[in-house]
Amino acid sequence: MAATKNYGLDAGKEGEEAPSKRICIRSSEETEGMAEEIDTSYFKSYEHIGIHEEMIRDVVRTNSYRLAILRASDALIGKVVADVGAGTGVLSCFCVQAGARKVYAIEASSMAKQAQSVAQANGASKKINVIQDRVENIELPEKVDAIVSEWMGHFLLYESMLNSVISARDRWLKKDGLILPNKANLYLAPFTNDLFYSERIEFWSTVKEKFGVDMSCIKPEAKKSLCSAIHIEEVYGGDLLARENLISELNLETMTQDDLQCIKSSFRFSCFGKETFCGFTAWFTVTFDPKVKGKELLTLSTSPDEPCTHWRQCAMYLDEPIDVEQDTIIAGTITLTPGKQNRRFLNVELTYQVDEREAVTKNYSLTDGSS
């Protein structure tokens, strides 16, 4: 008998890189109704199995969470846990393996159905209570002893999921309860990557030779677009031009949602040697404190000097590269704010000065269209 199958052409098709954590809506104004539409689209993006495959395939990420949760077993045995943004339920299963009595696995997307299947397949359906809804809409029947969540987006804050973790903490977490991870640091450093200009911008000058059509007139628009976006790419440790600066330190046990409305920090770099300064790169670490005597802290790092994760690094390019040498000073300020039209997007303002040159201010954005 002939078989019929239906296929869809989308971001999750086989053979393409699984879509990173991106949302799929552009809004015109931040009204209550529009914010709800933004959230609906955001959660719908997590229905793609490819996103979850990408995250679980990330051995650094998944193993870090597994080890951190099992290391906290003394604090979790017989306890109640909230898994915020549970996805497929893998962290909830780790919590059960660590001895948790009850796990509220909260997932707003339809992936909650898969989380329920995973719980059942692992003999944990009586301990894992999957709830398909937004954290902000839920009232749990009891306080929890711990919150686990993999909330980090590109540039740490993209997607604004941390707001939901803070909401869960304020409403459900017992006094002195456990949060995994409980701290996050964001870092910035200058870096070099000449290939960006030769391969991305100069590409338009090569079209005539290849195809007989002069498209070099597009170069100014290409530069304007590419040099105002935040690029998600792998940056190598050897491409850093100076020691990184810590630009934000977040304590999930004490911070508020207001703290996320504007993060501003100054920076000052002294260059290692003669090189071409092409832009700034950012990455983050998160720390898991098991709050168990004798158990060491565990840190998950997305640094260029560590094995690559699915977050990779964030790169922000200058309009024109600048030659630097040993002890060249690059100083300025960086400001991070949620997107004005879409609060799950991220805006970055960078003001920088190279030695005695004139200071430059550039604005970058991380949206669902970022490369």
Q: Which residues are catalytic?
A: 150, 159
Tell me the one-letter amino acid at 128. Answer: I
Pairing of strands 183-191, 173-180: unpaired
Hunting for tokens 């850093």 — which residue is that? 240
Alpha helices, H only, 181-264: 195, 203-211, 219-226
Q: Alpha-carbon Rg of the chain, whole angstroms?
A: 22
| Helices 203-211, 219-226: crossing angle, 10 deg rounding | 140
Q: Give the C-alpha separation, 9 to 21, whole Å.
A: 19
| Size (the chain), residues | 371
What residues contact 236, with CB distance under 8 A and at least 6 apart? 304
Residue 135 is encoded by which pair of tokens? 């954290």
Alpha carbon distance 262, 87 (integer Å): 28
Phi-psi region of 51 (alpha: psi -120 to 50; beta: other; left: phi over 0): alpha
Whole-number Å distance between alpha carbons of 371 and 368: 9
* Pairing relationship of beta strands 80-84 and 144-148 according to DSSP bridges: parallel
Q: Rounded to 10 degrees, what is the CA torsion of 172, 175, 177, 179?
A: 70
Phi, psi of 41 (to 5 degrees): -70, -40
Residue 285, SS3 per DSSP: strand
Within 8 A by CB and 6+ apart from 228, the residues are: 362, 363, 364, 365
